């Protein structure tokens, strides 16, 4: 693992490196980022005190689809959060957001961003450890909100890297179906109201009905029809996350 005090983006830094020389298992962590990014080009607020890190996976001929690494990574983040706040109510929202319940509503605690430099996929992870950024469009929470004391960011990264290694082996040797078994266990229950905004601006509202064999989202609409979503911005209805 390498640590730097500040950078524009740990993902951008890794994309510039010779990943074949570094090899899998390498992690880059920054205390602060000046240009952190989330999915769909959103800014990821990156003050000192939280975890900002990136790693990468070399895609092999027999590996599952590279995009499924997002769901695999969400399992490692989920179990890391559970490790530090085991009494909290925690769920994964499709495809890879980790939400924690606080004051009767769900709050986002982490984000995951995949970027391609084939045959490698760079995976960026941000987790609110000691600071919950104040965002206009969604509720946020941090580990400190539940621990009521400062949390060691290095200790969080250590657990995260171990869980990532565990699930990467599952993904690679047992396939996506095993990853989805874990994911379904950690996700919201069937019937949870959700909405999604598609790339063309359309909004679809329905009830969560799990995921397909390839990890796509299944929403049941008011008329009983299933709508399969391969990409989109998913929110819990009336929750702001």
**What CATH number has the domain bearing residue 122?**
3.30.930.10
Please identify, among 186, 201, 224, the residue that sits at the C-terminal boundary of a domain: 186
Percent of the chain at pLDDT > 70 equals 94
Verify that 41 and 90 share a domain, yes or no. Answer: yes
Verify that 133 and 221 share a domain, yes or no. Answer: no
For residue 94, name the pLDDT band (cuts at 50, 70, 90): very high
Q: pTM score, two decimals?
A: 0.92
214 located within any domain: yes
> How far is residue 12 from each of residues 23, 47, 178, 201, 233, measured CA to CA in Å?
17, 18, 31, 29, 23
Verify that 22 and 102 share a domain, yes or no. Answer: yes
Verify that 19 and 131 share a domain, yes or no. Answer: yes
- In the chain the beta strands, taken as DSSP E runs, fall at 2-7, 28-33, 51-58, 90-93, 97-102, 105-108, 110-117, 120-127, 193-197, 203-211, 217-220, 226-229, 233-236
Show the domain range for 68: 2-186
Burial 155-193 (b: 16+ CB within 10 A, else e): ebbebbbebbeebbebbeeeebeebbebbeeebbeeeee
- Pairwise CA distance, residues 7 & 179, whole Å: 32
Averaged pLDDT for residues 163-177? 97
pLDDT at 52: 95
116 located within any domain: yes
Which range has the worst mean pLDDT, 58-67, 96-105, 200-209? 200-209
Task: State in Å, rounded, how far the first CA of the chain is from the last one.
Answer: 32
Verify that 44 and 9 share a domain, yes or no. Answer: yes
40 located within any domain: yes
Q: Using the predicted structure, report yes or no on whether residue 40 has a pLDDT greater than 50.
A: no
Verify that 64 and 155 share a domain, yes or no. Answer: yes
Verify that 58 and 138 share a domain, yes or no. Answer: yes
63 located within any domain: yes
For residue 42, name the pLDDT band (cuts at 50, 70, 90): low
Verify that 31 and 49 share a domain, yes or no. Answer: yes
241 located within any domain: no
For residue 179, name the pLDDT band (cuts at 50, 70, 90): very high
């Amino acid at each position: 693992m390498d640590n730097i005090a500040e950078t524009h983006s740990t993902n951008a830094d890794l994309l510039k490196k010779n990943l074949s020389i570094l090899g899998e298992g390498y992690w880059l962590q920054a205390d602060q980022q000046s240009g952190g990014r989330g999915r769909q080009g959103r800014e990821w607020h990156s003050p000192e005190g939280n975890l900002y890190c990136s790693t990468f996976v070399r895609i092999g001929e027999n590996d599952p689809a590279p995009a499924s690494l997002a769901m695999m990574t969400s399992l490692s983040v989920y179990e890391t959060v559970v490790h530090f706040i085991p009494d909290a109510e925690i769920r994964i929202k499709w495809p890879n957001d980790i939400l924690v319940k606080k004051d009767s509503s769900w709050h986002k605690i982490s984000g995951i961003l995949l970027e391609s430099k084939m045959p490698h996929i760079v995976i960026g992870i941000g987790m609110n450890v000691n600071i919950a950024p104040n965002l206009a469009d969604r509720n946020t929470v941090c580990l400190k909100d539940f621990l009521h004391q400062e949390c060691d960011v290095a200790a969080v990264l250590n657990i995260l890297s171990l869980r990532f290694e565990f699930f990467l082996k599952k993904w690679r040797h047992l396939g996506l179906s095993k990853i989805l078994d874990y994911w379904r266990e950690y996700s919201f229950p069937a019937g949870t109201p959700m909405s999604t905004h598609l790339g063309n601006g359309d909004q679809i509202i329905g009830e969560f009905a799990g995921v397909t064999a390839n990890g796509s989202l299944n929403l049941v609409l008011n008329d009983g029809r299933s709508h399969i979503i391969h990409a989109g911005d998913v929110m819990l209805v009336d929750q702001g996350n």
